Amino acid sequence: MNVKVKICGITTPEQAEQAQRAGADAIGVVLYESSVRQVGFQLAKDIISTVDSGVCSIALVVNASTSRIYKIIEHLKPTFLQFHGDESPEFCNQFNYPFIRAIRMRADLDISSAIKNYEAKGGFLFDSWDDKLYGGTGIRFDWSRLPKQRNFPLILAGGLTCENVKDAIQTVHPYMVDISGGVESSPGIKDPYLVKLFIQNVKG
């Protein structure tokens, strides 16, 4: 099983280049002002400009305005948008642009209802629930809650580390794994050794 790796929360072009050299399949930038890994528009553009063909660039947004989404599409041209907030299917679908929909695993969540009507060509990313944070929690959820049978690409996030990712892959069989804090020396600073080790552990 060829599981893909997304390194999210990239904050410099150098980090993006290091992650790609280590074998990352996708590079994520965070355009959410409240995140410790947030980057400005020009820096996001500089990071995305380093992304090789064959590697995905992903722009993460949380409850952004319609005009901001159109600006991201026009100027950054990411491979995918990633809607990580409370965006409705109608909001996400209106741009006619490939996107990933993040689902935060609240205790009483019904997954079938949560993903209904989203035209998420990039798949659904499942992340840990926090009533204050939109992602970046560093906490894992109960992977057994995820559906075994599915007709969409499943991206696993939330509390992944170099130590637990093999177990995660055996349990969930995801299309892609997504990591941010688990390969950092401090918030927003990726550790090249941990990035390389994580990717090696995924790709075996």
Task: Point out the residues that are catalytic.
Answer: 8, 127
| Dihedrals phi, psi of 124, to nearest 5 degrees | -115, 130
Whether the Cβ atoms of residue 5 and residue 25 lie closer than 8 Å to each other: yes
CA 56 to chain centre: 11
* DSSP code at position 154: E
What dihedral do alpha carbons 142, 90, 112, 180 form, nearest 10°? -20
93-107 exposure pattern, b = at least 16 Cβ within 10 A, e = fewer? beeebebbbbbbbee
Q: What does residue 72 show for φ and ψ, rounded to 5 degrees?
A: -60, -45
The token pair at 48 is 């995305």
